């Protein structure tokens, strides 16, 4: 399973994006400051005055047809504020990132005007308002973030009548960080150690996204062995994250034996991760140009032994859960996300695939060389809590397949392409990068000046699930609240930089 070529994007995809870039220049170049293709994304920089006309062209022109709004957020570069928005094609083939300048003297007022323009074109834009009001006097039930095990990073206010949730309001300010500009005084290589904060169950994916973005910017070829190790560790973290998800589900169902077995197996895998990276949750392991340290033959043998044993144990856990009548009874038909709703609200990952859309960046974008591994992309049909759980169970099996192939085919050689990062000197240069984390598509946007980040924004998949959760809760039984929340697998770390 050796490979010599290293290209993140296929020739067909590059040709398609080049044509899209030409079309954008033809239709909207007179209304924007700059159009630039960055990997599978296109960055458009503009002022707010022409936003309505640009959105009209982008969404309704059949040659462009960008029908999905994935995120809207405000960022700053130390000099000026901007709105950063991700728009995606309905076929999930490419994204457009809009960077919209805000005037300093009327920043908040113009921000609201910009949101109104997005509302004219995208049904979920209202969810990105900075404050939707706390609805005092409307809600008769308040659930703080620390009250339920499955609620992390947001408070819940509910209006309940006869055990039915009539209205729901979610507030994620508790997930905020003291200083969103943590990166401001750090060199590029120092920022990597901060990235795991975006998901404490699978921190390696944020590290990988940052490093892939810089490597693409530098056109840096990562050693083969390092690419295999990246895939190996990514899939171990994916399994650990999905086991945490399954532990939450079984705890809600009161299945103590399954919960104990899941947590025991998770501990074994965390032990392997700690032996390789030196930490269980904050790996600080991926580096620009490769990984921090090599994996010896003794560790490879241990990983093979542990993963083989885990494969057997996980099948037992799966049979035990599926044999429990309450499993299907409690999860089936709850928190349904229809296919069209999943597309309109821009969700991704297992939550999207559970709604019968078989899209996975590992297979569709082929970053880090996943196309050289044999695996399938599990997907559901009904988009309910049961389908979201079964998709994740299927993904654990596929991750085991990928790990076994990586262990068998891992080549010899170095694990880091050395580069003198402190001596890099960029003009102001943007970069965009995406990876398939356990929750969905984790995307980052940044701009480098000199050898430091001037702007940075993480667009995690939990943001879209968080936006959709209010709608899913309304009309549901209060008894189903925990199951619905747990089935979306929302990461508090991803919410801290959301809205």
Mean pLDDT for the stretch of residues 162-176: 85
- Residue 218 belongs to some domain of the structure: yes
Q: Residue 29: which domain range? A: 11-128
- Residue 3 belongs to some domain of the structure: no
pLDDT at 4: 35
CA distances from 110 to 83, 86, 103 (A): 10, 19, 8
Query: What size, in residues, is the chain?
Result: 499
pLDDT at 497: 64
- Overall domain count for the chain: 3
Tell me the two tokens of residue 46.
């503009």
pLDDT at 498: 57
Helices (H) and strands (E) counted in the chain, each on its own, are 16, 13
Do residues 234 and 208 touch, judged by C-beta distance below 8 A? Answer: yes
CATH for 117 = 3.30.460.80
Tell me the two tokens of residue 126.
């209202």
Local confidence band at 46 (pLDDT 50, 70, 90 cut-offs): very high
On the question of pLDDT at 128 being above 90, the answer is: no
Do residues 468 and 493 touch, judged by C-beta distance below 8 A? Answer: no
Tell me the two tokens of residue 194.
């901060």
The pLDDT tens digits for 232-271 are 999 999 999 999 999 999 999 999 999 999 999 999 999 9
Residues 108 and 147 in one domain: no
The pLDDT tens digits for 449-468 are 888 888 899 999 999 999 99
Residues 288 and 319 in one domain: yes
- Residue 464 belongs to some domain of the structure: yes
CATH for 408 = 1.10.645.10
CA-wise closest residue to 391 among 228, 261, 238, 237? 238
Mean pLDDT for the stretch of residues 216-230: 95
Residues 94 and 225 in one domain: no
Give the 3-state secondary structure of 235-255.
HHHHHHHHHHHHHHHHHHHCC
Residues 330 and 307 in one domain: yes
Which of helix, strand or coil describes residue 459?
Answer: strand
pLDDT at 135: 52
- Residue 33 belongs to some domain of the structure: yes
Mean pLDDT for the stretch of residues 107-126: 89
Residues 157 and 108 in one domain: no
Residues 114 and 148 in one domain: no
Residues 447 and 298 in one domain: yes
- Residue 243 belongs to some domain of the structure: yes
Local confidence band at 382 (pLDDT 50, 70, 90 cut-offs): very high
Residues 356 and 471 in one domain: yes
Q: Enumerate the β-bridge partners of residue 453.
A: 448
On the question of pLDDT at 9 being above 60, the answer is: no
* Cα separation, 480 vs 124, whole angstroms: 24
Q: Is the pTM of this model over 0.85?
A: yes
* Cα separation, 366 vs 372, whole angstroms: 9
On the question of pLDDT at 109 being above 70, the answer is: yes
Tell me the pLDDT of the chain averaged across its residues.
89
* Cα separation, 324 vs 414, whole angstroms: 48
User: Beta strands 426-437 and 34-38: pairing type?
Assistant: unpaired
* Cα separation, 170 vs 463, whole angstroms: 12
- Residue 347 belongs to some domain of the structure: yes
């Amino acid at each position: 399973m050796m490979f010599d070529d290293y290209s993140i994007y296929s020739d067909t995809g590059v040709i398609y994006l080049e044509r899209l870039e030409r079309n954008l220049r033809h239709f909207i170049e007179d209304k924007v400051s700059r159009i630039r293709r960055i990997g599978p994304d296109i960055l458009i920089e503009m002022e707010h005055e022409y936003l309505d006309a640009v959105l009209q062209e982008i969404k309704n022109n059949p040659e462009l047809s960008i029908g999905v709004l994935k995120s809207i957020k405000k960022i700053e570069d130390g000099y000026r504020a901007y709105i950063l928005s991700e728009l995606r094609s309905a076929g999930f083939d490419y994204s457009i990132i809009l960077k919209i300048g805000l005037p300093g003297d009327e920043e908040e007022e113009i921000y609201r005007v910009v949101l109104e323009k997005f509302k004219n074109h995208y049904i979920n834009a209202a969810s990105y308002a900075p404050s939707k009001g706390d609805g005092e006097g409307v809600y008769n039930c308040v659930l703080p973030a620390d009250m339920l095990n499955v609620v992390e990073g947001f408070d819940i206010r509910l209006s309940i009548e006869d055990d039915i949730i009539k209205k729901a309001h979610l507030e994620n300010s508790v997930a905020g960080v003291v200083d969103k500009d943590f990166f401001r005084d750090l060199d590029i290589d120092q920022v990597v150690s901060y990235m795991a904060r975006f998901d404490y169950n699978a921190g390696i994916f944020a590290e990988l996204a940052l490093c892939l973005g810089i490597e693409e910017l530098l056109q840096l070829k990562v050693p083969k062995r390092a690419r295999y190790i990246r895939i190996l560790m990514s899939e171990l973290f994916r399994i650990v994250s999905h086991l945490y998800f399954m532990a939450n589900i079984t705890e809600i169902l009161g299945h103590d034996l399954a919960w104990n077995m899941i947590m025991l197996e998770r501990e074994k895998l965390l032990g392997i991760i700690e032996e390789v990276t030196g930490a269980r949750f904050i790996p600080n392991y991926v580096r620009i140009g490769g990984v921090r340290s090599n994996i010896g033959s003794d560790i490879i043998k241990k990983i093979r032994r542990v993963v083989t044993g885990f494969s057997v144990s996980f099948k037992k856990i799966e049979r035990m859960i599926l044999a429990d009548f309450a499993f299907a009874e409690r999860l089936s038909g709850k928190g349904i996300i229809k296919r069209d709703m999943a597309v309109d609200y821009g969700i991704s990952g297992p939550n999207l695939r559970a709604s019968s859309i078989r899209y996975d960046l590992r297979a569709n974008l082929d970053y880090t060389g996943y196309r050289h591994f044999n695996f399938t992309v599990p997907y559901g049909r009904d988009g309910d809590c049961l389908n979201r759980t079964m998709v994740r169970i299927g993904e654990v099996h596929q991750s085991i397949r990928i790990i076994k192939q990586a262990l068998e085919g891992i080549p010899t050689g170095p694990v880091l392409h050395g580069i003198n990062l402190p001596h890099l000197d960029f003009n102001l240069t943007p970069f965009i990068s995406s990876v398939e984390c356990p929750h969905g598509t984790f995307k980052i946007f940044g701009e480098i000046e000199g050898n430091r980040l001037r702007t940075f924004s993480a667009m995690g998949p939990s943001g879209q699930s968080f936006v959709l959760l209010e709608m899913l809760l309304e009309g549901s039984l209060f008894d189903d609240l925990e199951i619905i929340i747990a089935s979306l697998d929302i990461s508090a770390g991803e919410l801290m930089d959301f809205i």
